[in-house]
A and B are shown apart, each in its own frame.
Chain A
């Protein structure tokens, strides 16, 4: 019972064939077998990913629906959650702490609400990205699909979540005197750029998080620091006017602040171009392209290693 370990052919009692004497690699080459689970080339990978677009979309929508399916109010929470969020921030920062220095009241409320929603979009994409591989190991170990499907799908889920938040945002803008106009269309390119940026960042975090699940514990603190530094509830140039100018510049050109400013500029009448840093669209595009490309390549480089226990 022990001498049959190495060659199934001999054990089956079949006559020796021409393949006898070839080692495994040679035999594999002869019959065109390939290494199981090898990483495809970058462009082949993109094609595979495109082939899975329906899965990516269906998975993101399924996650979104599953989120509130046990609640009595059901999908209504998609809108109520961001609304409550905005109320809390307004209560603390607008009424109690009074961070609206230099911003008129009818601008400050939509300013704050936009900031909270746009930043939440990035924040939740990053948080979902960190867990997208490590939290779905069962899926990764059971089925074949380009692993980038997961972080992309989670970013897409957050984009859909943001669209629900936009309902609240439109209502807030109108209540405080900014009415729909052509400039509102600028929201679309701004959010698309932010989506690409978020996805790139989620891809980076997904690879890091698959190796070090501890990141999921650390990220809330990093994200909160980032939020307070990005001027979600205050105007960066006004708050930092006594400090050296480079600090305000660094904060204003950080991607979260850029995308927030772009959406505010598009939607709020009283928030003109004088509040924006120079070349703001170029900066938004630059961040999106940089993170999109770097994130995708960085994630793809470890494709065959996701799922190792």
Chain B
């Protein structure tokens, strides 16, 4: 795969000095009382309202990803990995800087579209439609999705509302729906850690398949082993800054040295 890169080297994702800022309402100065909010409104000065607190989650990240690469994102909790993925997917607007992409990158995840009050059956259809699959596609893959999730192994659970599922069952169904679609640029956020051992092996296999079909894969994980197994390049983020970018082994060694202390 590295040889392909050296010759072809067609960029699929270019991040150019990306900054992302979250604005949080009602967190200003930690004073949450009504009088404090009122006085903030009255004394509001120029520029940013005082009731709004800014969180600078990603600070000036630049990199170029090429076709055929699998890139692991590592870093401690809250270092901006998931935020960066969302910006690449075009789901979070950047404060400054640009993200250029080839086609439409998609995040592997459909959780937000599913409704726990509906049956698994209807959620498969709803989730598929939310990801942009056509009705015909969903019909043809429906059985595949249900079989993959293994929901029906212990009885007819797919016709029960999702709120009756155990957390493991729900996670398996969510992953199965999300992984049913093929993508150009695919981003996976900790999806490997769902379900029991049997399901984990099955889902790792599916991810390898998806990777073959996708142009470029990004993977966020705290499991260094799964990064080593699937990625050939790694980005290390810390406090929103890109600390290191290089071959997986090199970056992981440095990361493990730093966090092992």
* Chain A residues whose C-beta falls within 8 Å of the C-beta of B15 in the assembled complex: 24
In the bound complex, what is the Cα–Cα distance between A143 and B25 (angstroms)? 24
**Is B78 interfacial (CB-CB < 8 Å)?**
no
Contact between B129 and A58, CB atoms less than 8 A apart: yes
* Chain B residues whose C-beta falls within 8 Å of the C-beta of A32 in the assembled complex: 102
In the bound complex, what is the Cα–Cα distance between A9 and B69 (angstroms)? 12
In the bound complex, what is the Cα–Cα distance between A9 and B66 (angstroms)? 9
Contact between B245 and A8, CB atoms less than 8 A apart: yes
Interface hit among B1-9, B150-158, B191-199: B1-9
In the bound complex, what is the Cα–Cα distance between A58 and B124 (angstroms)? 11
In the bound complex, what is the Cα–Cα distance between A27 and B66 (angstroms)? 12
1/0 per residue, CB under 8 A from B, across A17-45: the answer is 10100011101100111111110000000
The residue on B at minimum CB distance from A48 is: B132
In the bound complex, what is the Cα–Cα distance between A68 and B194 (angstroms)? 30
Contact between A27 and B91, CB atoms less than 8 A apart: no
Known A-B contacts A12-B246, A28-B100, A144-B104; the reply to A33 vs B63 at CB < 8 A is no
Contact between A141 and B91, CB atoms less than 8 A apart: yes
**Is B111 interfacial (CB-CB < 8 Å)?**
yes
Known A-B contacts A1-B244, A142-B112; the reply to A8 vs B65 at CB < 8 A is yes
Contact between B92 and A308, CB atoms less than 8 A apart: yes
In the bound complex, what is the Cα–Cα distance between A28 and B102 (angstroms)? 9
A207 to B: closest C-beta gap in Å: 14
1/0 per residue, CB under 8 A from A, across B219-234: the answer is 0000000000000010
* Chain A residues whose C-beta falls within 8 Å of the C-beta of B122 in the assembled complex: 62, 65
Most chain B CB within a 10 A radius of its CB, from A27, A69, A143 = A143
Contact between B93 and A34, CB atoms less than 8 A apart: no
Known A-B contacts A58-B126, A309-B24; the reply to A36 vs B242 at CB < 8 A is no
Known A-B contacts A36-B105, A143-B110, A143-B112; the reply to A307 vs B99 at CB < 8 A is no
The residue on B at minimum CB distance from A17 is: B9
In the bound complex, what is the Cα–Cα distance between A304 and B130 (angstroms)? 18
B 98-133 contacts with A by CB, 8 A: 98-102, 104-107, 109-113, 115, 117-118, 122, 125-126, 129-132
The residue on B at minimum CB distance from A36 is: B90
In the bound complex, what is the Cα–Cα distance between A38 and B94 (angstroms)? 11
Interface hit among B81-89, B141-149, B201-209: B81-89
* Chain A residues whose C-beta falls within 8 Å of the C-beta of B109 in the assembled complex: 142-143
A 191-208 contacts with B by CB, 8 A: none
Contact between A9 and B91, CB atoms less than 8 A apart: no
B217 to A: closest C-beta gap in Å: 15
In the bound complex, what is the Cα–Cα distance between A14 and B6 (angstroms)? 6
Most chain A CB within a 10 A radius of its CB, from B9, B15, B107 = B9
Known A-B contacts A25-B16, A36-B90, A144-B132; the reply to A8 vs B100 at CB < 8 A is no
* Chain A residues whose C-beta falls within 8 Å of the C-beta of B39 in the assembled complex: none
* Chain A residues whose C-beta falls within 8 Å of the C-beta of B99 in the assembled complex: 35-37
The residue on B at minimum CB distance from A55 is: B129
* Chain B residues whose C-beta falls within 8 Å of the C-beta of A144 in the assembled complex: 89-91, 104, 106, 132
**Is B62 interfacial (CB-CB < 8 Å)?**
yes
**Is B28 interfacial (CB-CB < 8 Å)?**
no
Contact between A19 and B100, CB atoms less than 8 A apart: no
Most chain B CB within a 10 A radius of its CB, from A13, A141, A213 = A141
**Is A290 interfacial (CB-CB < 8 Å)?**
no
**Is A171 interfacial (CB-CB < 8 Å)?**
no
B234 to A: closest C-beta gap in Å: 10
In the bound complex, what is the Cα–Cα distance between A15 and B161 (angstroms)? 56
Contact between A31 and B93, CB atoms less than 8 A apart: no
**Is A175 interfacial (CB-CB < 8 Å)?**
no
Complex partner residue of A34 from B100, B129, B246, CB under 8 angstroms: B100
**Is A225 interfacial (CB-CB < 8 Å)?**
no
Most chain B CB within a 10 A radius of its CB, from A28, A52, A65 = A28
The residue on B at minimum CB distance from A308 is: B93
1/0 per residue, CB under 8 A from B, across A54-82: the answer is 11001100110110011000000000000
* Nearest 9 A/B pairs, CB to CB: A37-B90, A24-B16, A28-B100, A309-B22, A36-B90, A138-B112, A33-B100, A66-B117, A55-B129
> Which residue numbers of B lie inside 8 Å of A, CB to CB?
2, 5-6, 9-17, 22-25, 55, 62-65, 86-93, 98-102, 104-107, 109-113, 115, 117-118, 122, 125-126, 129-132, 134-135, 161, 233, 242-247, 254
Beyond contacts A31-B10, A63-B115, A142-B113: 15 other A-B pairs, Cβ-Cβ < 8 A, are A1-B243, A27-B14, A36-B90, A36-B105, A54-B129, A59-B113, A59-B130, A62-B118, A69-B117, A141-B91, A142-B107, A143-B130, A144-B90, A308-B23, A309-B55
List, sorted by A's number, 11 A–B pairs whose CB atoms are closer than 8 Å.
A1-B244, A4-B244, A5-B243, A9-B64, A12-B246, A13-B247, A27-B14, A32-B102, A58-B126, A139-B130, A144-B132
